[in-house]
Amino acid sequence: MLHIDNLTYRIGGRVLLENATANVPSGHKVGLVGRNGTGKSTLLRLIMGELETDSGSINLQRDTRVGTVAQQTPEGDRTPRDFVLEADIERSALLAEAETTEDPNRIAEIHTRLADIGAETAPARAAAILAGLGFDEQAQNSPLDTFSGGWRMRVALAATLFSAPDLLLLDEPSNHLDLETRLWLESHLASYQGTIVLVSHDRHLLNTIVDTIIHLDDLRLTVYRGDYDHFEKERRQRQELRAAEFAKQLEQRRHMQAFIDRFRYKASKARQAQSRIKALERMDELRPVRPDHEVAFDFPDPEQMAPPLIALDNASVGYAEDQPVLTRLGLTLDMDDRIALLGENGNGKTTLLRLLMGELKAMSGSVRHSSKMRVGYFAQEQADAFDAARTAREELALRMPDVPETKLRSHLGRFGFTQDRADVKVGSLSGGEKAKLLFACITRHAPHVLLLDEPTNHLDIDSRQALVGAISAFEGAVILVTHDLHLVELCADRLWVARDGTCKSFEGDIADYRKTILEARRAARRKDRDDRSSNGAGSDRREARRASASARAARASHRKAAAAAERALEALGKEKAIVEAKLADPALYKGPGVEIALLNKQLADLDRKISDAEAAWIAAEEAIG
């Protein structure tokens, strides 16, 4: 479907892509990965035709419909539902023409085409997508101007998904989505029928959705079959092989050059020397393997304090005296806690963080903590407030006015700011570097508690992995608000869930929480069907019984499919564990590489089968009503 051939692109004299080549077959789901600043978003714009290549070509199959999320958020007095329906350009045009044409033959053609494209079901499909992205019925029918920019971006995403293009280009689509909405998006994309090219730093999303990774690195595109975890393993093995080949060639060239230098002017050896000179000229010079980008993340440790750090006893909090956002709060936080704070947007997560950091006072009940406790609060809007004209060092110095410059630079070095980068103006820093500067600022006094609100939005995968290590090593408490499942799985040992006007501890892990979300959605769908059924009172009861029997049969079929998918996942998981154990055996790498290649291929096949089985299980679970 998509062919990128020897593509070169420069911006401002800087080369982003050079002789880059990759192919994306129809129906594949591709993750486009690489460090921040390598040109992933630029490549999407090149595919869309918004930028012109310097050389090479990008070719699409004829009549391919390409879709991406518009950068400009929708606005006006239209409703989200109307905006999404308008994304089906053909349907909108046909409906408009049907209102004006008087030709009976054309009217018949229009209605036939509307039936062919499922125009009657379009409102239901639009409503389902909007509901999945967090819009209830009232919100779907409210003017766009009543929503924040983040919610309007969701409407833009919904419109793109509704239009169902042949090639769907997505750039960090899960950013700014709460975890619950992200789970829906993950399921929707996993079952998407078209081709997807997805730019994301979200490892869990990539592992769940994609079957191919295209890595943008060193100005080139390299294709790997399988999910992100498999890409990491295969890339590491390729690097080790390339490093060995480069070292071998370097030694070979050194040996040949030594012979040339010694004998090129000796008559009896001149022919052999000339032969080696020509051989050197013909030899393809291998590129040295660059070491992986090292990312620094190191939180300073606070002094220990007696537990609990914070204790909430029947507390309530809000912004208006008679309208608390959260009530009946009974939570405690200790030094060694790693807590993920979950809940849909609008359920009070940020309000709770502001209570814990002392920005809001309890309206009732009590909040107990030591007067010596220090809190560090991370929220992306704080990074956006940095002065673009100041350097990273100057921003930190404003917050640490009496600290010597050597200590300022040392603290910035904990977060990857070298001597040179510390003196770069904030306006020239990447989004990820601004996030790291904010981490440096909020930890300047070695806080006992870190409150991290969506800390990974602008971090690449390497930086996210470094953040995981820093959180694990930190000796204070951490509360995470994040849509990054990988971060939750690796860091959180307790879950708090904000919903129904309070926040409580959740008994179980993130997998259990995911199941509760799916069950809640099934319950909501059942209620919706019941409501529609009650509104249709007076319809034929026999037909209703037939529909009920049909629904029961469908549920039974879906239960069987879910059970089969679970059994398949269990069997595939065992098979994968055996293959991984073989690949982890050092003895394997002493023999020929054929068996290694076969095992890696087997592992890639298993990863694809596991991804397909997971998608089948999610689809079956969501279909059970």
Residues 375 and 510 in one domain: yes
Q: Is residue 442 part of a domain?
A: yes
pLDDT digits (tens, 9 = 90+) for 104-154: 888 888 888 888 887 888 888 899 899 888 888 889 999 999 988 888 899
Q: Is residue 556 part of a domain?
A: yes
Range of the structural domain that residue 493 is part of:
310-514
Q: Residue 461: is its pLDDT beyond 90? A: no
Q: Is residue 450 part of a domain?
A: yes
CATH number of the domain to which 464 belongs:
3.40.50.300
Q: Residue 490: is its pLDDT beyond 70? A: yes
Considering Cα of 39, then 206, then 1, then 188, what sign does the dihedral take?
Answer: negative
Residues 433 and 550 in one domain: no
Parallel/antiparallel/unpaired status of strands 212-217 and 29-33: parallel
Residues 162 and 83 in one domain: yes
Beta bridge partners of 30: 197, 212
- Percent of the chain at pLDDT > 90 equals 35
Q: Is residue 305 part of a domain?
A: no
Last residue of a domain, one of 231, 266, 292: 231
* Cα distance between residue 356 and residue 368, in whole Å: 10
* Cα distance between residue 503 and residue 324, in whole Å: 13
Residues 491 and 558 in one domain: no
- Mapped onto helix, strand or coil, the DSSP state of residue 412 is helix
pLDDT confidence of residue 538: 45
Tokens at residue 577, please?
Answer: 């564990």
Q: Is residue 501 part of a domain?
A: yes
pLDDT digits (tens, 9 = 90+) for 547-604: 455 555 555 666 777 777 778 888 888 888 788 777 777 677 667 667 776 777 787 7
Considering Cα of 216, then 218, then 223, then 224, what sign does the dihedral take?
Answer: negative
Q: Are 437 and 429 in contact (CB under 8 A)?
A: yes
Q: Are 297 and 466 in contact (CB under 8 A)?
A: yes
Considering Cα of 410, then 412, then 417, then 419, what sign does the dihedral take?
Answer: negative
pLDDT confidence of residue 534: 59
Q: Which of 213-217, 243-247, 383-387 is least confident?
A: 243-247
Residues 243 and 225 in one domain: no
Q: Are 134 and 345 in contact (CB under 8 A)?
A: yes
Residues 241 and 209 in one domain: no
- Percent of the chain at pLDDT > 70 equals 89
CATH number of the domain to which 576 belongs:
1.10.287
Tokens at residue 416, please?
Answer: 């990857």
Parallel/antiparallel/unpaired status of strands 310-320 and 220-225: unpaired
Q: Is residue 390 part of a domain?
A: yes
* Cα distance between residue 7 and residue 9, in whole Å: 7
Residues 470 and 584 in one domain: no
Which helix (H) or strand (E) segment holds residue 220: the answer is: strand 220-225
Q: Residue 529: is its pLDDT beyond 50? A: yes
Residues 463 and 495 in one domain: yes
- Mapped onto helix, strand or coil, the DSSP state of residue 130 is helix
Residues 133 and 185 in one domain: yes
Residues 551 and 508 in one domain: no
What band does 609 get if pLDDT is binned at 50, 70 and 90? confident
Q: Is residue 296 part of a domain?
A: no
What band does 478 get if pLDDT is binned at 50, 70 and 90? very high
pLDDT confidence of residue 405: 92
Residues 205 and 249 in one domain: no
Q: Is residue 276 part of a domain?
A: yes
Q: Which of 223-232, 277-286, 292-301 is least confident?
A: 277-286
Structural domains counted in the chain:
4
Residues 35 and 167 in one domain: yes
The Cβ-side half-sphere exposure at 298, using a 13 Å CA radius, reads 11
